[in-house]
Amino acid sequence: MTISRRKPAVAFMALALTVGLAITGCSSSSTTPRASGSSDVTGMKVTLLTVSQSCAYCATHTDELKADAQKAGVDLTVVVNEFDAGVQAQQVNQVISTKPDAVILWAADATAILPSLARLKSAKIPVVLTNTHPQTDDTSLWTAYTGPDDTDYGRKAGEAMVTALKAKGQTSGSVVVVTGVPGTPGAINRLKGFTETLEKDAPQVTIAGTQNADWDQTKGTTAAAALLTLYGKDDLVGIYAEADNMLAGAIVAADRAGYKPGDLTMVGSNCSIEGYTNIESGAQQASVLLSPYDDASLAWQATLKVLQGDDVANETFIPPVVITNLNLADCAAAVDK
């Protein structure tokens, strides 16, 4: 009885001790002063707030940054949130308390990240955003953004679709689009760029319908199957999926619906391993290269400039490259082939 009565008191004391240690002990971590114009970044602390280690692209992106940091002698801490914007917001608060010299941040959500960016700015911690552009025009919230311009990636995919159709002598017809998570900048902007290009370069080719598949291969199969049921009997000439893994699902659906490779023009994006394999086999006609190595490399270059106190461009975009079976080798490095 005595022990059980004392339990709350013991628990309270343990909590108080923990909080006390957290306040006094943990606050002893010091910030290394940035040497303006100095090229020596050894020992500086950088935190990478990234989204996942379960997706191939994300894992490669992280590994590349780790290798770059090790080479430069920078102490890189990796924090993962598994695409959870709420968790990322908490992680940002923790990172602010550790006062790193810079933060490399891959936003789990392009809108939800905005308050966290404001907090980082208030704490005067330089932020290099990578891969996902926040959904705001206020570019003062970050020091540098490096990554894709999704509208441009959509445009390039549109160009690839038009080129492939013209090569088959098809100047009219309809295409369907399998998109990512509805409402996210990547999904919206890639579709926007793709639509703009079709309207400009092939006005006789129309978009019959779109269906979201949330960047998921299995959902890509289901979404494409529904689109093929709806529009397959019309003048359907192609499918555009905003990511190669979703297109891999769409290719499965087309195969099940009786289409043979080449019957429909298949264009994806990112040139991930799924796209590489399908282009190699002839099931897919084109993709738009987004290499995790290029993505990470640009982010690291910007981070180095920040650490060295040099000027850095507020926005640097990865130039999109259309990949077909003619230049598939250009994609090989991105998929570790």
Partner 1 sequence: MTRTSPAPAVLTDVNAGATTGRTRIRALGEWAGDASVIIAVTTVVLFLIACLVVPEFATADNLRALLLSIALVGIAAVGMSVITIVGRLFSLSVSATVAVSTIIFAGALGLGPWFALVIAVAFGAVAGAVQGVLAGRLKADPIVTTIAGAAVMIGIAQIFSEGRTVAGAGDASVFAINIAGVLPMQVLIFLLVTGVAWWIHRFTVLGRKITLVGLNERAAEVSGLRSWPLVIVAFVASGALAGLAGALLASESGQGNLQLGATFGFDAITAVVVGGISVKGGMGNPLNAAVGAFLVGLLSNALVLVGLTYETQLIVKGVLVLFAIIITGVASQAKNGARR
- Specify the stretch interacting with partner 1 by CB under 8 A; choose among 3-11, 84-92, 101-109, 250-258: 250-258
- Binding partner 1 (rule: CB under 8 A), the pick from 277, 301, 308, 316 is 277
- Binding partner 1 (rule: CB under 8 A), the pick from 47, 143, 146, 217 is 217
- Specify the stretch interacting with partner 1 by CB under 8 A; choose among 103-111, 143-151, 244-252, 263-271: 244-252
In the window 37-96, what residues touch partner 1 (CB under 8 A)?
52-56, 58-60, 63
Question: What is the enclosing helix (H) or strand (E) of 245?
Answer: helix 244-256
The yes or no reply on residue 207 touching partner 1 (CB under 8 A) is no
Q: How many chain residues touch partner 1 (CB under 8 A)?
A: 40
Tell me whether residue 56 or residue 123 sits nearer to partner 1 (CB atom).
56
Q: How far is the CB of 133 from partner 1 (least distance, A)?
A: 22
From the list 282, 246, 321, 287, the residue with the least C-alpha distance to 161 is: 287
The yes or no reply on residue 258 touching partner 1 (CB under 8 A) is yes
First to last CA, the chain: 67
CA 276 from chain center: how many Å?
Answer: 18
Tell me whether residue 40 or residue 234 sits nearer to partner 1 (CB atom).
234
- Binding partner 1 (rule: CB under 8 A), the pick from 138, 199, 235, 255 is 255
- 155/247 Cα distance (integer angstroms): 17
CB neighbours of 3 closer than 8 A, spacing ≥ 6?
none
21-60 exposure pattern, b = at least 16 Cβ within 10 A, e = fewer: eeeeeeeeeeeeebeeeeeebeebbbbbbbbbeebebbeb
Question: What is the enclosing helix (H) or strand (E) of 220?
Answer: helix 217-231
- 55/49 Cα distance (integer angstroms): 15
Q: How far is the CB of 226 from partner 1 (least distance, A)?
A: 4
- Binding partner 1 (rule: CB under 8 A), the pick from 192, 216, 301, 330 is 216
Sign of CA dihedral 337, 270, 164, 259: positive
Tell me whether residue 225 or residue 241 sits nearer to partner 1 (CB atom).
225
Q: Hey, what are 24's tokens?
A: 């006094």
Q: How far is the CB of 61 from partner 1 (least distance, A)?
A: 10
The yes or no reply on residue 248 touching partner 1 (CB under 8 A) is yes
The yes or no reply on residue 291 touching partner 1 (CB under 8 A) is no
- Position 159: which residue type? E
Tell me whether residue 46 or residue 225 sits nearer to partner 1 (CB atom).
225
Contact pattern for partner 1 over residues 135 through 174, marking x by CB under 8 A: ----------------------------------------
The yes or no reply on residue 226 touching partner 1 (CB under 8 A) is yes
- Binding partner 1 (rule: CB under 8 A), the pick from 116, 130, 189, 212 is 212
From the list 183, 104, 150, 158, the residue with the least C-alpha distance to 270 is: 150
Q: If 0-12 CB within 10 Å is exposed, 13-18 middle and 19+ buried, where does residue 75 land?
A: middle
- 129/142 Cα distance (integer angstroms): 7
Helix, strand, coil percentages, rounded to 5, for the chain: 50, 20, 35
- Binding partner 1 (rule: CB under 8 A), the pick from 219, 308, 321, 330 is 219
Q: How far is the CB of 159 from partner 1 (least distance, A)?
A: 26
- Binding partner 1 (rule: CB under 8 A), the pick from 197, 270, 272, 284 is 272
Binding footprint of partner 1 on the chain (CB under 8 A): 52-56, 58-60, 63, 182, 211-212, 214, 216-219, 221-223, 225-226, 228-230, 232, 245, 248-249, 252-253, 255-258, 272-274, 277, 336
